[in-house]
């Protein structure tokens, strides 16, 4: 069980404890739960529920904290767009001085549309199409991260056919266990990612010999929601050894893309320390004279996002099993169903937040048993109509939503201090089938 759920049998953190661990949240005696300077009840009253709410000030502060920890090293933040790809989030990252790590044509186009300079974009991913590679070369992005010898040949061929030379780094699979959930572990030898550590010298030599590509360094990314620095230290030490070996073989190695994966506290425990992370980078790379890139997604935006929901109905009794059915569901926030992820849940109303506690399952209305946000959760009693915030939903939340059960995608609200704006409208039902056609040859 690698997700940072509280230890079995330990009591769930209370609403007050969850709020106390999150400086961007406060419980106002009259207005209820606030994100930065805005009462979430006010947002819910205007845009309805379910709805996503992001805190711009919180995202900015986290980026600044990471950059401050990295100060003094030649280390640059490339925000992993897949965690939350909203244009306003990308704009905020660009304004804060971050570049982007993208994994698809769509993410590359989003990053450019939001104003991120091509020179600040790196392209990762285990399967890139020739079309995506052509776009990356046409845009002249910072680098393509190569995940296999086969992909190296493809990028070389595409670039050469365009008469161009593309900077590439080789993503090495360091074969360390990040100690996280199996579905988000990416740096073990039997994961699909990267080039085997032992094959790196031969593939690097091949890259140096091929037309159309210029190998400039290495990349690695060992997994997500990593809370301990030990796997980073092990992977970075192996990577630094490889830099020495490649240089000894006469190659130029200017950059190391150190990946992302920094974890956050989903309960009331602290997340990964960016200061300790910066220390791990320094320990392995400080005397190598390489430009470092880091690619966090979750750590920058996860805590800054909430999913607002309203209780539709409650059923059952605590003696058997008590269910609180929300209007939000697994199609909106997939993480509990997909990764057994723990998310704190806090009532918006101060009276609800301090009321008597009961043990309940917090579920959505979809016809799947997996449509559950929390099992056996100690929560204040919630009556129909009571609103809650599902916490830490800013990363891998809206980006993973589907329209299962013909449920439209949710609106998104951006809070910034005491201001707020709707930054995506609730999808209309008609839009769900707007691109669909019934064949002419069907009887009408």
Please report whether residue 50 would count as binding ligand PLP according to CB under 6 A: no
β-pairing, 25-28 with 32-35? antiparallel
Q: Specify the stretch interacting with ligand PLP by CB under 6 A; choose among 45-53, 76-84, 86-94, 377-385.
A: 76-84
d(CA 51, CA 69): 33
Least spacing, CB of residue 129 vs ligand PLP, in Å: 17
Q: Specify the stretch interacting with ligand PLP by CB under 6 A; choose among 40-48, 255-263, 272-280, 318-326.
A: 255-263
d(CA 302, CA 168): 30
Least spacing, CB of residue 359 vs ligand PLP, in Å: 31
Please report whether residue 255 would count as binding ligand PLP according to CB under 6 A: no
For residues 295 and 371, which CB has a smaller minimum distance to ligand PLP in the complex? 295
Please report whether residue 397 would count as binding ligand PLP according to CB under 6 A: no
Least spacing, CB of residue 247 vs ligand PLP, in Å: 24
- List the one residue out of 83, 67, 121, 125 whose CA is nearest residue 278: 67
Structure tokens at 62: 């986290």
d(CA 201, CA 389): 50
Please report whether residue 146 would count as binding ligand PLP according to CB under 6 A: no
d(CA 169, CA 18): 41
Selected from 32, 231, 259, 347, the binder of ligand PLP by CB under 6 A is 259
Specify the 3-state DSSP secondary structure of 436.
Answer: coil
Least spacing, CB of residue 371 vs ligand PLP, in Å: 24
Based on the residue annotation, tell me whether 258 is a catalytic residue of this protein: no
Selected from 13, 32, 261, 347, the binder of ligand PLP by CB under 6 A is 261
Residue 188 neighbours by CB distance under 10 Å: 16
For residues 372 and 401, which CB has a smaller minimum distance to ligand PLP in the complex? 401
- Could you please report the per-residue DSSP string of 272-288? --HHHHHHHHHHHHTTT
For residues 25 and 395, which CB has a smaller minimum distance to ligand PLP in the complex? 395
Binding mask 291-320 for ligand PLP (x = CB under 6 A): ----xxxxx---------------------
Of 7, 319, 367, 434, the catalytic one is 367
- Could you please report the per-residue DSSP string of 318-364? TTS--EEEES--TTT--HHHHH-----EEESSHHHHHS-EEEEEEE-
Least spacing, CB of residue 295 vs ligand PLP, in Å: 4
Least spacing, CB of residue 142 vs ligand PLP, in Å: 14
H-helix or E-strand spanning residue 159: helix 149-161
d(CA 229, CA 274): 10
Residue 250: what are its φ and ψ, rounded to 5°? 95, 5
β-pairing, 345-347 with 387-390? antiparallel
- Find out whether 52 and 413 touch, Cβ atoms under 8 Å: yes
- Interacting residues with ligand PLP between 95 and 114 (CB under 6 A): 101
Selected from 80, 218, 240, 246, the binder of ligand PLP by CB under 6 A is 80
- Interacting residues with ligand PLP between 211 and 230 (CB under 6 A): 221, 224
- List the one residue out of 298, 350, 297, 293 whose CA is nearest residue 143: 293
Please report whether residue 271 would count as binding ligand PLP according to CB under 6 A: no
For residues 32 and 96, which CB has a smaller minimum distance to ligand PLP in the complex? 96
For residues 222 and 388, which CB has a smaller minimum distance to ligand PLP in the complex? 222
Please report whether residue 175 would count as binding ligand PLP according to CB under 6 A: no
Q: Specify the stretch interacting with ligand PLP by CB under 6 A; choose among 35-43, 232-240, 260-268, 353-361.
A: 260-268
- Find out whether 63 and 301 touch, Cβ atoms under 8 Å: no
- List the one residue out of 255, 163, 173 whose CA is nearest residue 212: 163
Selected from 13, 32, 260, 397, the binder of ligand PLP by CB under 6 A is 260
Selected from 22, 82, 181, 255, the binder of ligand PLP by CB under 6 A is 82
Least spacing, CB of residue 60 vs ligand PLP, in Å: 17
Alpha carbon separation from 413 to 147, 172, 186, 401 (Å, rounded) = 36, 39, 32, 16
Least spacing, CB of residue 115 vs ligand PLP, in Å: 21
Specify the 3-state DSSP secondary structure of 256.
Answer: strand
Please report whether residue 124 would count as binding ligand PLP according to CB under 6 A: yes
d(CA 158, CA 428): 41
Please report whether residue 194 would count as binding ligand PLP according to CB under 6 A: no
- Mind telling me the catalytic residues? 367
Residues in contact with ligand PLP by CB under 6 A are: 80, 82-83, 101, 124, 221, 224, 259-262, 295-299, 395
């Amino acid at each position: 069980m690698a997700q940072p759920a509280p230890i079995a049998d330990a009591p769930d953190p209370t609403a007050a404890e969850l709020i106390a661990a999150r400086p961007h949240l406060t419980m106002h005696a009259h207005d209820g739960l606030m994100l930065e300077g805005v009462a979430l009840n006010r947002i819910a009253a205007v845009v309805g529920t379910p709805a996503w709410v992001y805190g711009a000030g919180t995202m900015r502060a986290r980026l600044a904290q990471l950059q401050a920890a990295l100060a003094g090293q030649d280390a640059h933040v490339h925000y992993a767009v897949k965690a939350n790809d909203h244009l306003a989030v990308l704009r905020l990252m660009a304004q804060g001085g971050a570049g982007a790590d993208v994994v698809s044509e769509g993410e590359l186009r989003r990053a450019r549309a939001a104003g991120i300079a091509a020179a600040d974009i790196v392209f990762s991913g285990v399967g890139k199409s020739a079309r995506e590679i052509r776009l990356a070369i046409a845009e002249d992005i910072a680098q393509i991260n190569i995940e296999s010898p086969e992909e190296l040949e493809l990028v070389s061929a595409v670039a050469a056919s365009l008469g161009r030379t593309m900077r590439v780094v080789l993503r090495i699979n360091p074969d360390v266990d990040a100690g996280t959930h199996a579905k988000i572990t990416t740096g073990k030898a039997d994961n699909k990612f990267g080039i085997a550590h032992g094959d790196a010298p031969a593939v690097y030599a091949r890259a140096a010999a091929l037309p159309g590509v210029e190998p400039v360094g290495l990349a690695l990314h060992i997994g997500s929601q990593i809370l301990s620095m030990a796997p980073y230290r092990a992977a970075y030490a192996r990577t630094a050894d490889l830099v020495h070996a490649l240089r000894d073989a006469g190659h130029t190695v200017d950059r190391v893309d150190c990946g992302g994966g920094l974890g956050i506290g989903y309960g009331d425990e602290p997340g990964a320390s960016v200061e300790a992370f910066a220390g791990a980078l320094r320990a392995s790379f400080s005397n190598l004279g390489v430009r470092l890139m880091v690619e966090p997604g979750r750590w920058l935006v996860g805590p800054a996002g909430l999913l607002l929901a309203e209780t539709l109905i409650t059923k059952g009794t605590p003696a058997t099993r008590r269910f609180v059915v929300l209007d939000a569901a697994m199609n909106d926030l997939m993480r509990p169903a997909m990764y057994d992820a723990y998310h704190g849940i806090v009532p918006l109303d101060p009276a609800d937040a301090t009321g008597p506690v009961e043990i309940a399952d917090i579920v959505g209305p979809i016809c799947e048993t997996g449509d559950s946000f929390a099992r056996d959760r100690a929560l204040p009693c919630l009556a129909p109509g009571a609103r809650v915030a599902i916490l830490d939903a800013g990363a891998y939340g809206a980006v993973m939503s589907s329209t299962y059960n013909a449920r439209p995608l949710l609106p998104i609200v951006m809070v910034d201090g005491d201001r707020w704006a709707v930054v995506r409208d609730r999808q209309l039902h008609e839009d769900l089938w707007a691109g669909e056609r019934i064949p002419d040859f069907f009887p009408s």
